[in-house]
Structure 1
Amino acid sequence: MISVHVVSAANRHLYEDELDQHHRLRCDIYIGEHGWRALVDRNGREADQFDYPEAVYLLAVDPKAGVVGGTRLLPSWKPTLLSAVFPEAAAVRGMPQGPDVWEWTRFFVAKSHREEHRLSRTGGAVLCSMFEYLLEEGVREMRALGEAWWIPRIQGLGWRPRPLGLPIAHEGMTLAGFAFDITQRALEEMRGVYGIEHSCLVRRGLAEPLSIREDIHAA
């Protein structure tokens, strides 16, 4: 069974092997498969200037195969791909930012866990866990930069993406900046699409979620 682990500066020492696997997979996928020329192969690993201590990783772990998927979340008050490299992608509406706004980047699923002609349940586990984690942490809005075809795809998952600017051409791709709200309704719709009934989120070595702490305080 796939579990999705939250990895932050607070518990990164518990996930050294998994983080290394994740960087190797990013190299295989983004440099090997997609041929993104702006990225650097660092001895079989892909890492960039946004893999800083404040970044949060969600890593899908298969008990037999190790890391098989994941994504990276960046705080909006730090430099991000959208703010530091492609600000023109948010030139119309501007970039949402604040303590409850983060940026979504580097979503991937290993070849071994992709499913032909259907949505990957591994990818679904990562995305559902992302919404679950962000809801627990009180994040209300996410922004992202991605290929434009992502927008109709995530609409089909129950998200409500809002373009932040006009599409831009980059190295043969059409990129778009967009934002979306983090809601319980979207999480439930997405779980229905992927057929995921239970949480697969793991917070090993981390404090209890923000929402749980608030409930305890209120009691």
Structure 2
Amino acid sequence: MSEVVLRLQDVNKVFEPDTPRAVHVLHDISLELHAGELTALIGPSGSGKSTLLNLMGLLDTPSSGELWIDGQATARLDDAGRTRLRAHHIGFVFQFHHLIGAFSVLDNVLMPLMLQQGKPATAQLDYARHLLDAVGLPNIEQRSAKALSGGQQQRVAIARALVGKPALLLADEPTGNLDTQTAEEVFALFEQFNRDTGCATLIVTHDPRLSARCPRVIELLDGRIVSEPGAL
């Protein structure tokens, strides 16, 4: 069995607890993601997918239960601790690319590193250029990000998510804003980087054609895992 990158044990999420408006969104979620796995997270709107993804990405905290990233427990970490762990271990790709239009393509890719440490090292610059080549965008590193098509911007966002060599890559509907052909091409990039880097990759998608291509599929319904061969 490959290395466990992410582990959740009996994780619950309740919004506005101890009030008449309390909403129990996630119920006793237990699962593991391993290095090299490509996993799809599916389920209808309102099933808790985005909430679960936010917990996995340390953007929010569970109401109860524990979550480990690369063996480190996170439930009791403060904001600064979660931020450090997220920066060093997790890459994100969202449905909307969230690039900075006034910045160059290369600067957008390097942004996570610049926020962490300031000026990137030469090796990091070389790796960022390598990633742009790998996502099919060579020789445009100085172009303004706002001059790119939607598909090109999402490719830049993938390179940005990978520039820190994360152990865990999380993608929230990364093809949901793209046409069918571009969505296929972008998904193929996730497959490629999953193979090449060995990072654990979780993709939230409503597209059954894409989820069917993932070796592992986790299905959520009403905040519970209802179909998952690897559940604890």
Tell me: higher relative CO, structure 1 or 2? Use CA pairs within 8 A at least 6 residues apart. 2
Q: Which has the larger radius of gyration?
A: 2
TM-score (ref. length: structure 1): 0.30
TM-score (ref. length: structure 2): 0.29
